[in-house]
Structure 1
Amino acid sequence: MRRYTETVDGPHFSLTCSRAEERKAERDLSRIQRYTETKEFFDCRGELSIKFSKSNLSLTILYDHKGHVETPKFHVTEEVQKYIEANKLVPPRLIYQNLIAMADGSQLKTTDLHTITRQQVYNIWMSLTRREWERDPRDDFRSAQMLVEEQEGYFLIEGLQEPGVSLAFTTPCFSDKVKYNRLKMTEIFIDSTFGTNKHGYELYCVLTELDLVSLPLSYLLLDTRGIREEGKRGSRLTAWLTALRASGLNPTVVHTDKDFAGDSCKHSI
Structure 2
Amino acid sequence: MDMFECGGWVTIWASSDESDCFIRIQHLDCHQKYVCIDLPDDVKKFITDNPKLRAPQLWKEILKTNPRPRFAQKSVYYQWFKQQQTNYRRSDDEFESAKILLKEFATGPAHKLAEIPMPESGGFRALGFVFPSVLRKWDGVIHEVALDSTFQTNKAGFECFALLGEVGSSGVPLGFILLKSNQPELHEKEKYIRAAIRFITVVWKIRVKQALSDKEITEINALLGELPDDIKYQLCFWHSIRAVKTRLSILGRHPAHYDAAEAFNEFNWIDRKFLLINQLDGELRTEVYNIFILRAYSG
Which of the five TM-score ranges fits, normalised by the shorter chain?
0.3 to 0.5
State the TM-score, normalized to the length of structure 1.
Answer: 0.46
State the TM-score, normalized to the length of structure 2.
Answer: 0.41
Larger strand share, 1 or 2:
1
